[in-house]
Amino acid sequence: MRLPRIALTTAATFSALTALLAPATAHAAIAPPAAAPASLQRHAPGDTITLPVRDALAALIVQDENRTGYSRDKFKHWTDADKDGCNTRAEVLLEEAVTEPTIGPGCTLTGGSWYSPYDDQHFDSAKKLDVDHLVPLAEAWDSGASAWTPKQRELYANDLDDKRALIAVSAKSNRSKADQDPSTWLPPYAGYWCTYLTNWVADKTRYQLTIDPKEQTALAEGLARCPDQPITVTLAH
């Protein structure tokens, strides 16, 4: 059972980071998949590593991204891996509920309450929430998942093994984010920015995904104003 996430409040203003929120640019020409960072090459899938988040950011490969061939359908979701009648979306909602909902037929959820850290709001209905892929499916495709097998993409889209991968948030904030990375979108609630950026780096590290130059700048600027806390990541694939 995963524990609900708690937003990390910071007094930082992030003025430099917000200045980076410019319109996204067109994707660059497609490039071959990059090799794993040297600091990760000695590790294998399933290995668990711990390092400061800024070191983890520095270890990520910087490479232009390309969305050629992307389709959301190439990431099968939401699945019911344990065959208990509740799919991945419902599992996240159940685990992150502040007040436990009632589970009805077909894993219909009634009652309960949730906290959306993206916008610092509380909700009393699961229908008002989306389950967000922290690193969106399209962003994952752009930065390495295009080279994965369909099964690997399915596992990514339904990752319940790392509590940072999927998060229940308000539908409004999730749809505002869409497929953007931190260079063009941050949660409306600034008190969650440090947690968001740290978890973004952890998720990209877990899947050894690349980052593009603007994304790298936004992450570096933001994390410079956050605690350089250690992240623990179990490498996937």
pTM of the full structure: 0.84
| E strand or H helix at 159 | none
Is there a contact between 36 and 130 (Cβ–Cβ < 8 Å)?
no
Is there a contact between 17 and 195 (Cβ–Cβ < 8 Å)?
no
Residue 208 vs residues 43, 60, 152, 163, 171: alpha-carbon distances, Å: 11, 7, 13, 17, 28
Compute φ and ψ for 170, nearest 5 degrees.
Answer: -60, 145
Is there a domain that residue 7 lies in? Answer: no
Is there a domain that residue 212 lies in? Answer: yes
The token pair that represents 200 in the structure block: 């973004």
Q: 């992450």: which residue's tokens?
A: 219
Number of domains into which the chain is organized: 1
The token pair that represents 167 in the structure block: 């998060």
The rounded distance, in Å, linking the Cα atoms of 151 and 87 is 17
When computed from its CA atoms, the radius of gyration of the chain, rounded to whole angstroms, is 17
Is there a domain that residue 62 lies in? Answer: yes
Is there a domain that residue 223 lies in? Answer: yes
Domain with 156, as residue range(s), is 15-234
pLDDT in tens, 88-121: 999 999 999 999 999 999 999 999 999 999 999 9
Partners of 234 in the β-ladder? 48
pLDDT of residue 174: 98
Say how many C-beta atoms besides its own lie within 10 A of residue 117's C-beta.
23
pLDDT of residue 44: 87
Is there a domain that residue 57 lies in? Answer: yes
Q: 């270890």: which residue's tokens?
A: 59
pLDDT of residue 29: 37
Is there a domain that residue 34 lies in? Answer: yes
The rounded distance, in Å, linking the Cα atoms of 150 and 153 is 5
DSSP-H helix ranges across 164-223: 171-177, 193-206, 213-223
Say how many C-beta atoms besides its own lie within 10 A of residue 17's C-beta.
24
Is there a domain that residue 4 lies in? Answer: no
Low-confidence ranges of the chain (pLDDT < 70): 1-42
Is there a domain that residue 1 lies in? Answer: no
pLDDT of residue 40: 61
